[in-house]
Amino acid sequence: MKSIYVGNLPFSAKEDEIRDLFAAHGEVQVVKFVMDRETGRFRGFGFVEMEDAGAAKAIEALDGKDFGGRTLRVNEAKERAPRPPRRY
């Protein structure tokens, strides 16, 4: 399984639309939009999980593609760097 970062999504995008967009390139396991913790609003990016072969095809086909008037940024997701503990 590969996790794919999908950025610069229009705020009107729906998870089902993204699932359909990526499904043209392989089987989509998970679509997850990132929401703002404080407001609960969509932040304009998310992640798609697919099998490796389909993920590579989707990244190549969809990076830079217009979607809802915005140019998608699509690449393999990187591990999140550890954050230092919060001080209160």
pLDDT, averaged across the chain: 94
Sole residue written with tokens 């399984």: 1
Q: Provide the residue type at 59 as one letter.
A: I
Task: Decide the pairing of beta strands 70-71 and 42-50.
Answer: unpaired
For the segment 60-85, the average pLDDT, to the nearest whole number, is: 92
SS3 (DSSP) at 39: coil
Supply φ then ψ for residue 21, to 5 degrees.
-60, -45
Q: What is the pTM of this model?
A: 0.87
Alpha helices (H) along the chain: 15-23, 52-62
pLDDT of 28 above 90: yes
